[in-house]
Homo-oligomer: A and B are copies of this chain.
Amino acid sequence: MAGLYLSFLFQLFFCLSCPATNPSMLNVHLVPHTHDDVGWLKTVDQYYYGDRNNIQHAGVQYILDSVIDQLQKDPARRFIYVETAFFYRWWKQQNQSTQRIVTQLVNEGRLEFINGGWCMSDEATTHYSAVIDQMTLGLRFLNDTFGECGRPRVAWHIDPFGHAREHASIFAQMGYDGFFFGRLDYQDKARRMKTKEMEMLWRASESLTPPLADLFTGVLPNGYNPPEGFCWDQSCDDAPIRDDPDLEDYNVDEIVQKFLNAGFYKANHIIMTMGSDFQYENANLWYKNMDKLIKYVNALQAKGSKVNVLYSTPSCYLQELNLANLTWPLKTDDFFPYADDAHDFWTGYFTSRPALKLYERLSNSRLQTCNQLEVLGGPKSKSGPFGEGDSDTMSKAMGVAQHHDAVSGTEKQHVAYDYARRLATGWAHCEVLVRNSLAILSGSEAPRVFCENLNISVCPLTESSHKFSMNVYNPLGRTVSWPVRLPVNGSVYSVTDANGRAVDSQVGNVFISLKCTCYIYDMKSSCLLPLLSVSINNKSVLLYVFKFLKVTFDETTGLLSSLTNLETNQTIQLTQNFYWYNASAGNNKESPQTSGAYIFRPNSSDPFVINKTAETQIVTVSSTVQEVTQWFSPWVSQVVRLYEGHRELELEWTVGPVPVADGLGKEVITRLDTDIKSSDYFYTDSNGREVLERRKDYRPTWELKQTEPVAGNYYPINSRAYIKDDKHQLTVVTDRSQGASSLYNGSLEIMLHRRLLYDDYRGVGEPLSEPGDFSDGLVARGRLLLTFTPPDTAADVHRPLAQGMVLQPLLSFQDGTPSANTKLEFSGLQTDLPPAVHLLTLSQWDEDTVLIRLEHQYQAKESKTHSQPVTVNLQKLFSTLDVLGASEMSLGANQWKEDMDRLQWNAEKTSKPLPLSAKDPSPWEVTLNPMEIRTFLLRVRQL
C-alpha cells in the first residue's frame, strides 16, 4: 500500500507540473488553444480531414499533427485540447511511437485536456441527459487512454451563446475545479469589468447542498481570441515579430510595447487565450512568435519591467487563483439571454431548426433504449441473430449532435443534414442491437420492423398485414400510459394485450382500430392503444373528458377559451392562437442586425396574427381520446387532444411550409393568454432540470437597459415553462427545446418555427430557410402538453410528464402471430422505481460492469409529496441482473467519488438557506436528495 500511495503522489505531481510564476510581477498566462467546432460550416468529417476548405479553411487532423510536433521542440510550450470527438479520431490514426510521445506530453502537463467532452455542448437547447452522456463519452476515452493525467480539471465553454445554470451544476458534479467561458451579455460584461466581477463562484443549484454544485467561473478577457494584434495563426493577418536587427521593418520594440499596453486585469495573474477557431493547423507560426514575445517581454524585467509572460494552461492559471485565497462574488442565476449589442440578442437559435431539435431529442430516447437493451440482452445483443449491432455509433452521433452548432440549429444546411444522417446511421446500428436483444429477451427471432414514419401515418407492415404484433419497449423506470396511432387498411381490428385481454381501441377515418397481439418488453409500462374516430361539426365544442380536465372552445373564433381542473375545480380563461413576428432585415436607424439562425430580432414588438379565427374542422370523440382539429391557414393547424386517464391537454401543432414569397421572414409563435395574475414573472427550465424564475425586462444581478422588448425577454426552454399566481399554474411541457417568453400579464408564448431571408452575420453565411422535402419550406410538427394545477402540486404532474416526453416507448412490429414459446411480457426492473426516482442511465460499461445513474427528479420544495430524500436498494433493482458490487463515481464517470477532491473557494455570504442532504442508510441503500444524481459502476452477472 505504501508503494501504491507513493506512486499516486508521483503521478499527481507529474500531471500538475505548472510553470513557475513570479509573485512580485503581473503574470500573463498565455494559453495556446484551438476551438474546433464539431461541425458548423462544414461537417465534422470535413473539419477533421480538412475537406471543403473552400467553405472554411479548417483541418483538425493537421492541427493535432502540428501541435504535437511543436510541443516537442520546447518543454516550456503548452497546449490544451478540448473536443474529444476529434482527438479520439486522430489518436486512432497515430502509430505507437506518436502515441508514446503524446502520452509523455500529457504526463508532463505540456498537452492538457480541457473540458474533454465529445463536443463543447450547446447550453440553451440541450437536454441534461444527452449532455451528461456526451461528456461521459469524451471523458471515458481520455481516462482509458491517459489515466489520471488525462482527466480535465477545467470546463471550457468558450463559444456557446449564453450559459445554463444546469451546465455549471453538471460540471461541478463531474469534478471540475473551474469553468471558463467567453460570451456573456455585453452590458453584464461591461459591469463586471468595472466592478472586477469577471471571476466568481457559481452556485448552480437551489436544491443540492453546497459545494456540490458550486463552480468557480471565469469570464475570459477577449472572448476566446488573442488580444488585438497578437493573432499569429495562419488564418490571421497580424504582423509577425520581425526580430532581424538588419531588417528595415524590425518591429520587436513596437510589438512588446503594444503588449505591455494591452489593458490587463488588475490581478496578479491574467489569462490570455492565444488561439481561435480551428487555429494551430500550422502551430509553428503561433509558437515561433510567442517564443519571441516571451523572450523580448521578459527581457525587459532586467530593466525594471514588472510583467512576466509564460506559457500556461487554464488549470495552472486556476491553481494560481486558488492559491491567492480570495473571496469571490456569488452567482445563482444564469447567463441567458446573451446579447453582444443592443439589438443583437442570440435568442433565435432557441428555436432554429425545430425538426432537427426534435429528432435529436427522439434520438436520445432511442439511445437510452438501445443502451438499456444492450445491458438487458447481454453480449449477444451486439452480435446475435440479426447481425452486428452497437450503441457506440449512436452514442457518438448523439455526442456530436450536442455541439453548440448542432442541436442549436446554427450550422449550415448541409451540416444539419449530416447531423441527422449520423443520428439515423446510429439508430441503424442500434436497430440491429435492439432486434438481437428483443430476440434474446422474447425468445422469438422472427423479423421485426420499426416504423420510422408513424408521425406521417406510414408503416408498410401495419398497412398491409391482417395480423401483426406490436412490441412496446418503455425505457422509463415506471409504468406509463402512452397513446399509439397506427395506419391500417382494414376496418375492423381486435386488439389484445400480452395477457390476451382486449385493449380499448377505435377506428377513425384515418386511424382505425387493429386486431393483433400487443406484448410489452419494458422497464415497466402498460399497453394503451387509443385510436380515433367520428368527426362532428366544428362549432362550440366542449371537451369534457374523463375526470381531470375540461376544455372549452370559443364558438365564434374556434379558439380555446377556458381550462378547468376538475379535481380542484379551478378554471382559467385561456385563449391560444398562432402569430408571427416579422424578422428584421436590419435597418439604418438603429442597427443593421437581421434576424438569423442565431439572432432573433423582430421588426416590431407586435406579432401578426395568423388568423383571428380557426376553422375547427374535425372532432373525434371516443372513450380513449377526444380531439379537435383547428385550421388557421394553409400552413398552420393544430389538433387538440385529451386522453383517457391523462391530466394534460395535448396541442399538436403543424407549422409550415412558412411562406416567404412576400419577402418577409417569419418567426412563428403560439401564445397562451390567460387570466393568471403572473405579472412580469414566468419560469423556464435549465437543460430540462431545475427551473429558474424569469422576469420581464429584468436581470437578477444587474441593471438591464432593455433595447429589444421581445427578443431581450426570450429564454430557452428545454422541457417546460410556466406562469403562475397564488392559486393557478399553467405549465407547458414541450417535446424539444424552444424559445419562450411572457410579455404580458398571464401570457406565455413559445416560438415554434422560423424561416428567414437573411444571414445574421455570425459566420454561418446562410439565411435560416430550411427547404423541407419539397424545397418549398420545412413543415414542422410538435406537441405542447398543458397542465393546469395549483402551484404546489404542479411538479407532481409536470415532472413525470416531461420525463415521459423525453424517454418515449419504442414500438416494433412483427408480422403474424407470435410463436408459442414467445415471451410476451418482460420487465428489466424488479418493480417500478419510486415516483421521485428517474433512471437516467443504464448502459454497458465493460464486460462485467454496467453504468447506472439514478436521479431525484424533483427540486427541493417544489412537491410536498416528492421533494424528500428517497432511498433505492441497488441490489434489488434488476430482475435479470445480479449486482455483485457497486462503486460510486463522479457524474462524468471518470473518477471514483471518493477520489474527488475539488479546489475549495471562498464565496461571498448568501442570505438564502442552504439545502441539507440525507445520508445513505447502508452501502447498498443509496439515498437521493432532491435533484441529486448518483452515478455507480455496478459489477453484474446475468441471471
Copies of the chain in the assembly: 2
Q: Is A236 an interface residue (CB 8 A)?
A: yes
- Cα–Cα, bound, A66→B65 (Å): 12
Q: Which of A32-87 contact B (CB under 8 A)?
A: 45-46, 49-54, 57, 59, 61-62, 65-66, 69
Q: How many residues of A contact B (CB 8 A)?
A: 34
Given contacts A69-B69, A247-B45, contact A237 B53 (CB under 8 A): yes
The answer to whether A249 touches B282 (Cβ under 8 A) is no
The answer to whether B285 touches A62 (Cβ under 8 A) is yes
- Cα–Cα, bound, A50→B57 (Å): 18
The answer to whether B53 touches A282 (Cβ under 8 A) is no
The answer to whether B62 touches A249 (Cβ under 8 A) is no
Q: Which of A221-270 contact B (CB under 8 A)?
A: 234, 236-237, 239-240, 242, 244, 247-249
Q: Is A319 an interface residue (CB 8 A)?
A: no
User: Could you write out 13 A-B pairs with CB less than 8 Å apart?
Assistant: A51-B240, A53-B236, A53-B237, A59-B285, A62-B282, A62-B285, A62-B288, A65-B284, A65-B288, A66-B282, A69-B69, A234-B234, A234-B281
Partner of A234, one of B57, B89, B240, B247: B57
Given contacts A49-B242, A51-B239, A51-B242, contact A66 B281 (CB under 8 A): no
Distance in Å from the Cβ of A428 to the closest Cβ of chain B? 12
Query: Chain B residues near A237 (CB, 8 Å)?
Result: 52-54
Top 7 nearest A-B pairs by Cβ distance?
A: A282-B282, A54-B237, A53-B237, A49-B240, A49-B242, A50-B240, A65-B284
The answer to whether A244 touches B89 (Cβ under 8 A) is yes
The answer to whether A248 touches B45 (Cβ under 8 A) is yes
Distance in Å from the Cβ of A243 to the closest Cβ of chain B? 9
- Cα–Cα, bound, A74→B49 (Å): 21
Q: Is A876 an interface residue (CB 8 A)?
A: no
- Cα–Cα, bound, A471→B431 (Å): 97
Q: Is A421 an interface residue (CB 8 A)?
A: yes
Query: Chain B residues near A57 (CB, 8 Å)?
Result: 234
- Cα–Cα, bound, A743→B665 (Å): 64
- Cα–Cα, bound, A248→B420 (Å): 13
Given contacts A237-B52, A285-B50, contact A244 B69 (CB under 8 A): no
Closest residue of chain B to A51 (Cβ to Cβ) is: B239
- Cα–Cα, bound, A288→B65 (Å): 10
Q: Is A93 an interface residue (CB 8 A)?
A: yes
Query: Chain B residues near A66 (CB, 8 Å)?
Result: 282, 284
Closest residue of chain B to A251 (Cβ to Cβ) is: B51
Query: Chain B residues near A46 (CB, 8 Å)?
Result: 249
Q: Which of A3-32 contact B (CB under 8 A)?
A: none
- Cα–Cα, bound, A93→B288 (Å): 12
Distance in Å from the Cβ of A59 to the closest Cβ of chain B? 7
Interface centre among A57, A239, A285 (most CB of B within 10 A): A285
Partner of A93, one of B53, B93, B244, B284: B244
- Cα–Cα, bound, A93→B243 (Å): 10
- Cα–Cα, bound, A282→B280 (Å): 10
Query: Chain B residues near A50 (CB, 8 Å)?
Result: 240, 285
The answer to whether A59 touches B240 (Cβ under 8 A) is yes
Closest residue of chain B to A249 (Cβ to Cβ) is: B45
- Given contacts A51-B249, A52-B237, A234-B281, list 16 more A-B pairs with CB under 8 A: A45-B249, A46-B249, A49-B240, A49-B242, A51-B239, A51-B240, A51-B242, A53-B237, A59-B285, A62-B284, A65-B284, A66-B284, A69-B284, A89-B244, A93-B244, A248-B421
Query: Chain B residues near A425 (CB, 8 Å)?
Result: 248
Closest residue of chain B to A55 (Cβ to Cβ) is: B237
- Cα–Cα, bound, A50→B249 (Å): 12
Query: Chain B residues near A234 (CB, 8 Å)?
Result: 57, 234, 281-282
Interface centre among A240, A248, A288 (most CB of B within 10 A): A240
Given contacts A54-B237, A237-B54, contact A242 B65 (CB under 8 A): no
Distance in Å from the Cβ of A898 to the closest Cβ of chain B? 38
Query: Chain B residues near A69 (CB, 8 Å)?
Result: 69, 284
- Cα–Cα, bound, A388→B62 (Å): 48
Distance in Å from the Cβ of A55 to the closest Cβ of chain B? 9
Query: Chain B residues near A236 (CB, 8 Å)?
Result: 53
Distance in Å from the Cβ of A503 to the closest Cβ of chain B? 42
Query: Chain B residues near A89 (CB, 8 Å)?
Result: 244
Distance in Å from the Cβ of A682 to the closest Cβ of chain B? 43
- Cα–Cα, bound, A575→B240 (Å): 57
Closest residue of chain B to A247 (Cβ to Cβ) is: B45
Query: Chain B residues near A51 (CB, 8 Å)?
Result: 239-240, 242, 249
Closest residue of chain B to A232 (Cβ to Cβ) is: B50
Query: Chain B residues near A249 (CB, 8 Å)?
Result: 45-46, 51
- Cα–Cα, bound, A468→B672 (Å): 101
Distance in Å from the Cβ of A339 to the closest Cβ of chain B? 30
